[in-house]
Chains A and B, each alone.
Chain A
Amino acid sequence: MKICTIQELLNARVIVGEERLGDHVYSACGSDMMSDVLAYVKDQAVLLTGLVNPQVIRTAVMMDMHCIVFVRSKEPTPEMIQLAEESGMVLLATDKRMYEACGLLYSNGLVGNKVRETSA
C-alpha cells in the first residue's frame, strides 16, 4: 500500500514527508508502548500510536520504519517534526482512534506482518 493511500483511508493530515507519500509499505503495527514496539515488531514499516514524545520518532528510526501515524488528533511537537525530517520519516495525523485506524488499514489490505501478503 502506498503511504498516500493510508493518508486517504484515515483522512489524515501530512505533517512531514510529503515527498515520500508515493513510497510503498507492506505492514503496520499499533502501540502506545515503545517497549513493545522494540521487542515484538519485526519488519513493520508503519507505526500507529497515540503516544507523543521524541522517543516515538527515535524508536521508529531504530526499527527502520517509514511512517508514523498519530491517532486521536495527537500533534507532534516541533522537535519531533525536526527529528522526523532529519530521518526521512513520514508523519501523519488522524482524528480516528487507534482501533478504527488499525481496522481501516487492515481491512484494506495492510496486514500486521508480511507473511500473509507473500503467501496470498
Chain B
Amino acid sequence: MSGALSFHFDVDGENFTMAGQASVQVKKNLRRLGLPPEVIRRVSIAMYEGEINMVIHAGGGHAEVVVAEDAIEIVLQDNGPGIANIEQAMQAGFSTAPDAIRSLGFGAGMGLPNMKRYTDEMDIQSEVGRGTRITMRVLLEN
C-alpha cells in the first residue's frame, strides 16, 4: 500500500442536511486524481448509499477512503444499533426506515444491494448494540 492516499471524514448523524457531503468531497478528490469516470461513479454511489445509511440508521459515524494502486477501499464505521440480520438487510426492498425518512426521499431498502452491485468486494461486520463496519473495494485495472 505504499503511495496510498487516504481521505477521512466524520459523518454527522444529527444533521440530515449534511448527509452525503463526504461522498461529494470524495468524488471531487477522485476526479482531481484523474481516475476513470466509471470507477469514480461506482465508488461515489456506493459510498453515498453507505454514508446516508450511517446518518439515517446509525446516528453518524466515520468514513475512510483509501486510494491504492490496485483498488479504492471505502470503510464506513458507526457505533449505531447494528444490523441483526445482515442477509435480510441485503435483500432489495427490505427497510426499517420510518415514514419520516421516506418523505426525505430514502428508505426503499435499495442501498445495501446497490452498494454490493457497484463494488467488487463488500464485507459487513455488525454487532447489535455495538455498531457496523462496512468495507467495500472497487478494483482498478491497469
Contacts and interface: CB of A to CB of B under 8 A. Distances in A.
A complexed with B? yes
Contact of B105 (A51, A79, A83): A51
Interface string B69-94: 00000000000000000000000100
Interface string B41-61: 100110011001000000000
A38 B44 CA distance: 11
Contact of A62 (B48, B92, B104, B105): B48
B17 A62 contact: no
Specify which of A32, A62, A79, A87 lies most central, judged by the most chain B CB atoms within 10 Å of its CB: A62
Contact of A38 (B18, B107, B114): B114
Interface residues of B, number: 28
A114 to B, nearest CB: 16
A120 interface: no
Interface in B21-55: 21, 23-24, 27, 37, 41, 44-45, 48-49, 52
Contacts of B111: 35, 38-39
A50 B21 CA distance: 21
Interface residues of A, number: 21
B108 interface: yes
Nearest to B97: A35
B23 A58 contact: yes
Nearest to B109: A35
B74 to A, nearest CB: 13
Contacts of A34: 105-106
Interface of A: 32-36, 38-39, 51, 53-56, 58-59, 61-64, 79, 83, 87
Given A58-B48, A62-B27, 5 more contacts: A33-B105, A34-B106, A53-B105, A58-B23, A62-B48
A55 B107 CA distance: 13
Nearest to A39: B110
A61 B27 contact: yes
Contacts of A56: 105
B110 A59 contact: no
B3 to A, nearest CB: 27
Nearest to A64: B41
B13 interface: no
- Among B48, B49, B102, B114, the one with the most A-chain Cβ atoms within 10 Å of its Cβ is B48
A36 B52 contact: no
